[in-house]
Amino acid sequence: MSLRVESDRGTHPRVDARDTPIVRRRSGSRFATDSGVPGELSDFRYCPACGAQNRPENRFCLKDGTPLPPIDTTRRMPGFVRSPGTYSPEEIEQVMHRVSQSVVRIRVR
C-alpha cells in the first residue's frame, strides 16, 4: 500500500525514515565544519549559483551542473577560541570591515 502526503506543492509519496540512507560524517579531519564540531567535515557542500545541497565528494551541482569550488583545506577550526568580551573595539572594527568587504564581493557576483 502506497501512502501519499498532501502539501501546498501537490501530492507526494510518503517517505519512511527507515528507507532513507544515513549520511555519516567523516571523522579525523581538522577542517572547518558547518556543524561547528572540530574534527568533522560538513555533511554538505552548497552550490555557489543555486544554493543547492550537494555531497562533499561531488564536483558538480546535482541541480544545475555548476562546478563546485574545491574544499579549502587551509581553513581549520581553531583549537582555542577567545571569549567575545576580550576583543578590543579596534579588533571588532577590523573584523566588521572584513565582513562588510566579503558581503560586497558576494553581492557583486
pLDDT in tens, 25-58: 444 444 444 444 444 455 688 888 898 999 988 9
Residue ranges per structural domain of the chain: 44-72
Coil, strand or helix: which one is 108? Answer: helix
The Cα 72–Cα 45 span in angstroms is 12
Q: Is the dihedral of CA 21, 27, 29, 31 positive or negative?
A: positive
pTM here is 0.34
Q: What integer pLDDT is reported at residue 29 of this predicted model?
A: 42
**Interval 62-78: pLDDT, tens:** 999 999 988 776 766 66
